[in-house]
Amino acid sequence: MSANSSTPSPTSGSPSDDDNDLTAGLDLGFDGAEDLLRVWRQGMRPDPNLTVSEWADQHRWLSSRGAAEPGRYRTARAPYLREIMDALSPGHPAQRITFMKAAQVGATEAGNNWIGFVIHHAPGPMLAVLPSLELAKRTSRGRLDPLIADSPALRERVSPSRSRDAGNSMLSKEFPGGILVLTGANSATGLRSMPARYVFLDEVDAYPASADEEGDPVTLAEARTTTFSHRRKVFMVSTPTIRGLSRIEREFEASDQRRYFVPCPHCGTMQWLQFDRLRWAKGKPETAAYHCEGCERPIAEHHKTDMLAKGEWRATAVSKDPKAIGFHLSALYSPLGWKSWSDVAREWLAAQGSDETLRVARNTLLGETWVESGDAPEWQRLADRREAWKPGTVPMAGLFLTAGADVQRDRIEVDIWAWGRGMESWLVDHIVIPGGPDDPAAWDRLSALLGRSWQHANGAFMTVARLGIDTGYEAAAVYAWSRKVGFEQVAPLKGLEGFNRSAPVSGPTYVDATIGGKRLRRGARLWSVATATFKAETYRFLRIERPSDEDRALGVLDAPGTVHIPGWADTEWLKQLVAEQLVTIRNKRGYAHQEWQKMRERNEALDCRVYARAAAWILGADRWDEATWRRLEAQAGVETRMPSATATDIATQDPAQPKAGTLTTPRRKRRAYTPNFMRD
């Protein structure tokens, strides 16, 4: 071998004194000794201390098979990704990194850079989870194979894909010191197959609710990192979907919620880009420009490159977990040549007119969740509309009372609602009875409520006409109590899902059993309630606008269905009242249906409202005639509110001539119906 070929390369460095000490006394006269020493010295030298972004700039090459801009990867092209990628480096303290983003901002490539870094610089077991097994296979072929093939540092560590080489298959890539396994969120077997130090969860909002009926895929995947304790890294990426159902939004809101602040080229004000500050001439999205929140001057698109380069991530909240950080990015940050501001404006205008296209635009352009049209109003708006009246009293227009009771493990919550014409309603009382279904004292206190009275604003006293109580928890105990107090004033309720029912309440049916398990011939009278119908009605009523002070001075009354909330109703109760939203769900065959989903754990106020409303329906309030309402008003001492006559209502024709469509022979008068609670 020639002297030149045996000379250590410049990258190897010259032999040090330590090297000479280690080789002292060794016979180095054989052919190839210098090459052996060179390789040995390279192995002894520690790897450079690179971050993920630095590794990508040095070693990552983009293939034309999976990138619009092939060639060497440059973090400077999308500088906002630098901090996100560096948080995935072993030296960063964060363990859970969440990235809620719009489409086309480079998030998937950042994840691929992390995979390449792990293979090359920080080997260990890694799990990459895609929404389905089929998508995992496509990702392996379309992204990971080019990643490995086009980056020399990875190509020498991962064996070529061959049918006889088990180390590099479609869903498994072995490398020195570790292994990368790809799986689908729909495969429980893949999610529990191995311990993992690194977990890459891509497009988590597209994951199914459960993996093979074994639980949440995100939870199953994260459980794989338990044995790695403080050394683990979990990277969660997704475009969000529907508020309340979005996993990525839930994780982001639990993090420190970092936003990318960029400087205004005119005044230097640091700000994060928001869609409502992107403005354009009507019908001309090509004129779109961003308006600075500091100086209000328009910012042209060509300033974006410099703005992104000078930007910085800033936390806007305090994380519940100090080791969890979160990033949010909209398409407004997309670099020049990817998606322009005029493209964003054009796509937003094209989405108008359809909830489905608006939902896609909000998710993919703004990186924000979609709020379904059936969603409840914000609790803060309800708080601002609270009214002042004495706790425990019935306002003037309230004509009868019903109650809704929700049975919990350690308490029974009861709301008392007053109802008036047009199902206008007022919250009269909120009562929490400590003790669960196994506590006789709790049932005794609930029984006492049936005999309690609430004073009307006119001085009359009212009792609860009907109490609706849920049987979803400890149904046998509810049946037993209902049978004990009697079914004249109590209605056990069973909630049913769905809207397609001929009536919101059906029944009653006789269901009950003795202690020995024998069915009673005429047991508890159970009513079935389509809770979705009454929830939709409640939220529709909550959105009714109230008359202004000027309108009230002119005699304008509240619209039928208006919900009145007293000033003593606290924030927690208001949040419970709007704790659910109506969402569209698609089954495995793609068929869509709507259902109510909880946005927070506690929703007792909404449930109690539904039960009280069902009790009013069972009383017949939805079917009472005018005479019944007048008798109720007479009992309460309330003056009947008759609509004022208009000029068109006054007949000018000869009274001797009958009107068209009227009977000349008077119909026999029907006996007026009187509800039981109104009878003496």
Asked if residue 560 lies in contact with residue 547, where contact means CB atoms within 8 angstroms, the answer is no
- By DSSP bridging, strand 425-434 and strand 453-456 are unpaired
Residue with structure tokens 């790897």?
Answer: 47
User: Structure tokens of 291?
Assistant: 């308006």
Which residues in 204-257 belong to E strands, given as ranges? 233-238
DSSP string of 498-550?
A: -S--SSSEEEEEEEEE-TTSPEEEEEEEEEEEEHHHHHHHHHHHHTPPPPPHH
H/E stretch holding 432 = strand 425-434
Q: Helix, strand or coil for residue 129? A: strand
Nearest to 254 by CA among 236, 274, 227: 236
pLDDT at position 156 is 86
pLDDT at position 265 is 96
* Most distant CA pair in the chain, distance: 136
Half-sphere exposure (CA, 13 Å, Cβ side) for 585? 13
Distance from C-alpha of 78 to C-alpha of 338, rounded to nearest angstrom: 10
Asked if residue 538 lies in contact with residue 609, where contact means CB atoms within 8 angstroms, the answer is yes
Distance from C-alpha of 403 to C-alpha of 389, rounded to nearest angstrom: 19
Distance from C-alpha of 347 to C-alpha of 181, rounded to nearest angstrom: 37
What averages of pLDDT result for each successive group of 10 residues across the chain (680 residues)? 38 46 58 75 71 92 75 92 95 94 89 93 92 89 88 86 66 90 86 86 86 80 86 93 83 94 96 94 93 94 95 93 94 92 94 81 91 66 87 89 92 94 92 90 92 89 92 87 88 79 76 59 77 88 85 84 92 89 65 72 90 92 88 77 41 45 45 56
Distance from C-alpha of 494 to C-alpha of 488, rounded to nearest angstrom: 18
Distance from C-alpha of 106 to C-alpha of 110, rounded to nearest angstrom: 6
Distance from C-alpha of 599 to C-alpha of 583, rounded to nearest angstrom: 11
What's the burial of 158, exposed, middle or buried (CB within 10 Å: 0-12/13-18/19+)? Answer: buried
Asked if residue 112 lies in contact with residue 144, where contact means CB atoms within 8 angstroms, the answer is yes
pLDDT at position 495 is 87
Distance from C-alpha of 358 to C-alpha of 369, rounded to nearest angstrom: 11
**Interior/surface letters 51-75, b for 16+ CB within 10 angstroms, e for the rest:** bbbbbbbebbbbbeebeeeeeebeb
Residues 6+ away with beta carbon under 8 Å from 265:
299, 303, 306, 307
pLDDT at position 57 is 92
Q: Helix, strand or coil for residue 172? A: strand
Asked if residue 462 lies in contact with residue 401, where contact means CB atoms within 8 angstroms, the answer is yes
pLDDT tens digits, one per residue of 619-641: 888 888 888 888 888 887 776 55
Nearest to 234 by CA among 87, 109, 113, 136: 87
Q: Name residue 385's amino acid.
A: R
Asked if residue 369 lies in contact with residue 242, where contact means CB atoms within 8 angstroms, the answer is yes
User: Structure tokens of 555?
Assistant: 């005699």
Distance from C-alpha of 56 to C-alpha of 385, rounded to nearest angstrom: 54
- 647 phi and psi, to 5 degrees? -60, -35
pLDDT at position 444 is 93
N residues, the chain: 680
pLDDT at position 272 is 95
pLDDT at position 543 is 87
Distance from C-alpha of 519 to C-alpha of 526, rounded to nearest angstrom: 14
Show the 3-state SS of 398-414. Answer: CCEEEEEEEECCCEEEE
Q: Name residue 310's amino acid.
A: K
Q: Helix, strand or coil for residue 198? A: strand
Q: 508 preceded by cis ω (within 30°)?
A: yes
What's the burial of 394, exposed, middle or buried (CB within 10 Å: 0-12/13-18/19+)? Answer: buried
- 174 phi and psi, to 5 degrees? -90, 145
Report the phi/psi class of residue 418: left, alpha or beta, with left for phi > 0 and alpha for psi in -120 to 50. Answer: beta
Nearest to 178 by CA among 114, 237, 130: 114
DSSP state, residue 365: I
Q: Name residue 81's amino acid.
A: L
pLDDT at position 676 is 61
pLDDT at position 269 is 95
Distance from C-alpha of 429 to C-alpha of 565, rounded to nearest angstrom: 10
Distance from C-alpha of 583 to C-alpha of 374, rounded to nearest angstrom: 8
Q: Name residue 229's amino acid.
A: S
Residue with structure tokens 């998710």?
Answer: 363
Asked if residue 239 lies in contact with residue 359, where contact means CB atoms within 8 angstroms, the answer is no
Cα dihedral 204, 210, 216, 218, rounded to 10, equals -30
Asked if residue 382 lies in contact with residue 541, where contact means CB atoms within 8 angstroms, the answer is no
Residues 6+ away with beta carbon under 8 Å from 233:
88, 90, 94, 95, 97, 197, 198, 199
The DSSP bridge partners found for residue 545 are none
